[in-house]
Structure 1
Amino acid sequence: MSQLELAVRAGTTQRHLSFMERGRSRPGRAMVIRIAESLELPLRERNSLLHAAGYAPVYPESRLEEPMLRPVREALDGILQGHMPYPAMVVRPYGEVVAANGALAVLTEGASPELLAGPVNMLRLMLHPDGMAKRVVNLAQWGRHVTGNMRAHADRNPDPRLDAFIAELEEYLPDEAPGPDHLGFAVPLRLARADGPGELRLITTLTSFATAVDVTLAELHLEAFLPADEETAEALRARAAR
C-alpha cells in the first residue's frame, strides 16, 4: 500500500503520515486507531500499535470461560449442534480446537492418541502422518491448500511462530508436481472411510466474528465441513443415526 493510499484511507494527509513515519509528528490515539483500521490489522496488533505509540490498549482480551462471554459460548454450542450430522469445530489461531461437535470424530478416527490429547491442534492433526494424513486420499493437493491459506495469512500478519509452524506442516506433505488436470486448490477433502470401503468428500467453510471488539472473539473461527456429494451426506447421516 502506498503512503498516499494509506493517508486517504486513514483520513489524513500524505505529509502528516510521512511526518509520523519519520518521528517528526506524534499521532493521537484516534489517528493510531484509524491507521490500524486502514491497514486491516487484527485487534491484537492494533493493541500493539497503540502500545508502541504510548497509549493503553482499547480492545479487551477476555477469557472464553468468563461469565460475560457465556452468551457467545451458548451461541457457538448451538451452531455446532445445529450442524450435525456434519463435522464442525471452533478453533483459535494456529489450529487449537476450543469446541467441536460429535461428528468431528469421523475425521479423527484412527489418529494417534498423542495427537488427540488436549489441547488438540487440528492443523497438525490433519496433516501429521500419525493423524488424519494416512486417510487423506489427496493429501498433496489438500495439504497444500491448508498451508497455502496459512501462508496468505502470514503474508498479511507476519509472525515468526506461524512461519515455523507452516514449515513443520509442509514437511509432512509429499512432493507432487501439478498434473494436466490441476485445478489449483479448488479441491474437496477426500477422506478414506474408517468404517468400510469408499471415501468421504468434504468441502469446508470458515466463519469469523467480523464485528468483534474483543481480541479473544476476533481470533476465533468456526470451521464447518459440508458433504460434497450425496454419497457422503448419506454416509454421515447414517453414521449419526447409528
Structure 2
Amino acid sequence: MTTSNQDRSAAELKRVLDTIERLRIQRQQNPGKIVSRIQNMKRFTQQELNDEACGTYKNLLMGRSRRLPDRQTLMDIANYLECTGEERNDLLLSAGYVPIPLPLSDRQLDRVLDQTRSMMHQLPYPGMIVTDVLDIVGYNEAFCNMFGLSDFSFASNPPNMIDLHFNKDMPIRAASSFDEKSRARWESHGIVGIQTFKSHHPALFVDPKYARFHGLMEKYAELREFWNREAWTVEQDLKTAKYFLARQPGSAERRPIRYNQLHLAVTDQAYPRIEFFVPADESARQVFAAWGCAIDCSFKSGPYA
C-alpha cells in the first residue's frame, strides 16, 4: 500500500472511530433520550462496546489494528448504540459504505402518492396503497368489495396492514383462517411479514416515529407471539397462494378461493407501493370476474411487508 493510500485509510478509520465515540458519549451523557426498552442495562463504555458489538474495538482505538470494520460490524455497533436511521447513515458514510434508504420527505411522499393513486385506479384488480411503516393510505372499490370491507370507514383512522391481518373485528382474519390449512397459511404469512418488517427497520425500538407500531404490538397478542418465530422464507411465501372465504355479489354464500398478493413500486424505493391481489385458482377467477375484476395476470407475487 502506498503512503497516500495509507494516509487515506488512516483518515477514514479516524472518521469512523470519531463518529462511534461521538454517538457512544451521547448515549452515556443523555440516557433518557434513548427509547429502547433495554437502555438501563447498558453502560455504553468502550469495553462494553468491544464485548457486545466489535471484538477489535479496543485494538482499533489503541492503534493495534488498522483494519476498517466491515459494513455488518458497523451495523452491529449501530444496534448496540441504538442508533436512529439518520445516525446509522452517518456511521456508514463515515466509512464510505452505501447508506440505508430513508423514508421520503412529506413533500416527496405527497407527490409520489398522487402518482400511486393514479396507477392504482387503472389496475383492474383489488388494490391498496401502503407506506414503509405499512400504513394503508389508499384503496380502490374492488379491494373493499373483495375483502368485505365496504362497511368499514378508514378515512378517520387509517388502518395498518397489521390491523388487516390480526384484527378480529375485520372480516379478513376470519375469512383467511377458516380451517387448519388456511390458518397455517395465515400464520406463516404473518410471521414472514413480521420478520421482513424487522429487517427493514433496524431502528424500530429507537426512533420515536415507530410509536404507533409499539401500540400495535401491545394490541395484538399474535404479533408478540410471532415476533421471534421463523416460518417460511420470503421466497416460499412469494410462491404459495393464500386462502380466503369469498362471497359473490348479492349473495351471502361464501366459497374458498386461493389468491396471490403482488406489489408495484412507483419509484426506485420499495415504498410507497401498491399491494394488489390476483386469482390463483378457477374458483377465485369466477369470484373476481363476478366483482368485475380481471382474471388473468402475469405479475410475480410479493409479500405483504
> Normalization by structure 1: what TM-score?
0.60
Aligned match of 1:4: none
Letter in 1 for 2:13: S
From 284, 295, 303, give the equivalent of 1:232.
Answer: 284
Aligned match of 2:176: 136
The answer to whether the 8 A contact 1:110-1:194 is kept is no
What is the alpha-carbon distance in structure 1 between the residues aligned to residue 20 and residue 143 of structure 2? 53
Summarize the alignment of residues 51-70 of structure 1 with structure 2, pairs less than 5 Å apart. Answer: 61-63=105-107, 69=111
The answer to whether the 8 A contact 2:261-2:275 is kept is yes
Structure 1, unaligned runs of 5 or more? 1-11, 27-34, 213-217
From 244, 253, 260, give the equivalent of 1:191.
Answer: 244
The answer to whether the 8 A contact 2:166-2:222 is kept is no
The answer to whether residue 116 in structure 2 is matched with residue 76 in structure 1 is yes
The answer to whether the 8 A contact 1:140-1:173 is kept is no
> What's the secondary structure of 2:268's corresponding residue?
coil
From 261, 265, 277, give the equivalent of 1:204.
Answer: 261
Cα distance, 1:82 vs structure 2:
2.3
CA distance 1:134–1:101, shift in 2 (3 Å): same
Which is further off, 44-53 or 146-155? 44-53
Identity of aligned residues (%): 14
What is the alpha-carbon distance in structure 1 between the residues aligned to residue 154 and residue 106 of structure 2? 27
Summarize the alignment of residues 26-175 of structure 1 with structure 2, pairs less than 5 Å apart. Answer: 45-46=85-86, 49-50=89-90, 61-63=105-107, 69=111, 72-84=112-124, 86-109=125-148, 113=152, 118-131=157-170, 132-137=172-177, 138-158=182-202, 159-160=204-205, 161=210, 162=213, 165=216, 169=220, 171=222
Aligned match of 2:13: 18
> What's the secondary structure of 2:291's corresponding residue?
helix
What is the alpha-carbon distance in structure 1 between the residues aligned to residue 131 and residue 19 of structure 2? 39
Residues 153-176 of structure 1: CA deviation (Å, up to 9, x unaligned): 31343202457746755626999x
Cα distance, 1:136 vs structure 2:
0.7
The answer to whether the 8 A contact 2:128-2:140 is kept is yes
Letter in 2 for 1:171: E
The answer to whether the 8 A contact 2:136-2:158 is kept is yes
The answer to whether the 8 A contact 1:151-1:166 is kept is no
What is the alpha-carbon distance in structure 1 between the residues aligned to residue 108 and residue 217 of structure 2? 26
CA distance 1:24–1:147, shift in 2 (3 Å): closer
RMSD of the alignment, in Å? 4.3
CA distance 1:230–1:46, shift in 2 (3 Å): farther
What is the alpha-carbon distance in structure 2 between the residues aligned to residue 228 and residue 147 of structure 1? 22
Which is further off, 184-193 or 219-228? 184-193
Cα distance, 1:191 vs structure 2:
0.8
> What's the secondary structure of 2:106's corresponding residue?
coil
The answer to whether the 8 A contact 1:147-1:166 is kept is no
What is the alpha-carbon distance in structure 1 between the residues aligned to residue 274 and residue 145 of structure 2? 17
